[in-house]
Structure 1
Amino acid sequence: MESDIVQEIFAVEEKLKASMLSSDTVALTDLLSDALIFINHFGQRVSKQDDIALHRSGLLSIESIELRDFQVVPQGNIALVHVNADIKGKYDGAKANGVFAFSRVWLKQNNKWQLISAQSTVIS
């Protein structure tokens, strides 16, 4: 059972990565909970609507995401994810590259996983 959850989370994490790379707002709408709160590396609270609007506007363009040190901790209908990511992209035309540590909380409701909480920290 636990290994099934881990595989499900790997699959939704891959969908999230692909959606971010292509700024696929339809897929992001499905993957992100309406209650999402993302605390970015500036300490700002970002909602689902804010995140999708950023992708829709073209202000954010992600060229690559390389994940490593992936850890999934299943907890019933919740799964905690801890992962490091090398991200290359542009924000408002300027380079926005960095190495980040992410913590994410996925919630399974109605047989569907959605991201409900996330936090990122810059790794020096």
Structure 2
Amino acid sequence: MSKYSESQIIEIEVRLRQAMLNLDVAELDAFIAPELIFTSYLGQLVSKQQDLPIHQPGILKFRALMPSERYNQLNEGFSIVSVQMHILDSYEGTEIDQHYRFTRV
């Protein structure tokens, strides 16, 4: 079965959201695997090395990250989390109020 229980997965998701809200790049660095492949809402592929600098103060500022429609699937040796997120933030001064879906393994 998965290395983590469902309650541990939920706690990790909470910590990840807090790190994003607090612009805690060190915590994000610890959470994000070196081999990250992130697909942006524009369909662009982003690596960990490309993603972390965006979370530096001044570029991206999250005001709220509100999860809904969360699905956790525990498998042999890994888990899959899919969550819809209502995001209120600003990116380089442009205000954003959008719903996105994220899937993490």
The alignment's TM-score, normalised by the length of structure 1, stands at 0.78
Task: Please list, as runs of the form range in 1=range in 2, the aligned pairs for 1:89-108 lying within 5 A after superposition.
Answer: 89-105=89-105
Structure 2 Cα separation of the partners of residues 92 and 66 of structure 1: 21
Q: Deviations over 1:54-103 (max 9, x none)?
A: 11252111110000111100112211111111000000001122011121
Q: How far off is 1:22 after superposition? A: 0.8
Structure 2: stretches of 5+ with no match in the other structure: none
Q: One-letter code of the match for 1:28?
A: L
What is the Cα-based RMSD across aligned positions, in Å? 1.4
Structure 1 Cα separation of the partners of residues 39 and 96 of structure 2: 17
Aligned length: 104
Richer in strand (by share):
1
Structure 1 Cα separation of the partners of residues 59 and 77 of structure 2: 34
User: Is the deviation greater in 17-26 or in 49-58?
Assistant: 49-58
Structure 2 Cα separation of the partners of residues 75 and 66 of structure 1: 26
Q: Deviations over 1:35-69 (max 9, x none)?
A: 00100111011111111101125211111000011
The 3-state SS of whatever aligns with 1:28 is: helix
The 3-state SS of whatever aligns with 2:89 is: strand
Structure 1 residue 73 and structure 2 residue 76: aligned? no
Structure 1 Cα separation of the partners of residues 40 and 74 of structure 2: 23
The alignment's TM-score, normalised by the length of structure 2, stands at 0.92
